[in-house]
Amino acid sequence: MRFSANLGFLVTDRPLPQAIHAAAAAGFDAVECHFPYEVPAAEVAAALRESGLEMLGLNTHPGDREAGDFGLAALPGREDEARAAIAQAVDYARAIGAGNVHVMAGKTEGGAAAEATFRANLTYACDLAAPHGIGILIEPINRRDVPGYHLATTDHAAAIVETLDRPNLAIMFDCYHVQIAQGDLLRRFEALRHLIGHVQFASVPDRGEPDRGEVDYAWLLPQIAGRGWEAPFGAEYRPTGARTEDGLSWLTAFKAP
């Protein structure tokens, strides 16, 4: 199995280019990130070349976090902002060779207008990204952590992907969020396998290192791999220690044959 370090949570005590090198030194096979936009793309691209790691994906800008934003794509009346964020993400992904852009839906009260806005913005994103070989991901995020998030279940995500029917649109299957919202991780993965573009994981319920908590990833991840998943698994957890490197015994154990 191969693993990706999500540098939105891991190795955050160093600038992003240095974090990429640290992930390589720690034994990760790839990296991904949240919002890299304050770092010049050329610096990130250079670090990826030097380290030999691939950047699997990044997120669209979430909007004004202080005002409560957690994404823009499903917010009626803010289409211009959402599409600017999508264009920014696609341009940055092109510049660093990232494979995917996660389009963040945002918090809504639900309803037809929000859903129509989300689907229209996803169509825009797919059309913009497709000529460059970039995938578009949507991620169900549990509403315990993010109350009001528009996309909270894999069923909702699957309906969107199947209805829009774009070859570069897929689900980000984050085991942490799916376990909290729905559970039954392996069977749910099996049912959605053809729609999934990336898999992430963290312990439940504390979102710490994955060698603890209610999900046995030492069992689950090999089961997923055994069902044909060959891409790196994305480690998106909050380290419990002062340094990410202090809590990486799981990586050695999970990678052992």
Question: Which residues form the catalytic set?
Answer: 139, 236
Instruction: Locate 188 and state its tokens.
Output: 């749910």
Strands (E), the chain: 3-6, 30-32, 54-55, 57-59, 100-102, 135-138, 169-174, 196-201, 233-235
The neighbour count for residue 208, using CB atoms within 10 Å, is 17
Name the DSSP class of 244.
G
The CA-based diameter of the chain, rounded to the nearest angstrom, is 52
Instruction: Locate 196 and state its tokens.
Output: 């999934």
DSSP track, 78-118:
-HHHHHHHHHHHHHHHHHHT-SEEE--B-B---SHHHHHHH
Rounded to whole angstroms, the Cα distance separating 240 from 190 reads 31
The dihedral sign for the CA sequence 235, 240, 241, 246: negative
Rounded to whole angstroms, the Cα distance separating 179 from 160 reads 20
Smallest CA-to-CA distance from 6 within 57, 41, 74, 80 is with 57
β-partners of residue 55 are 31
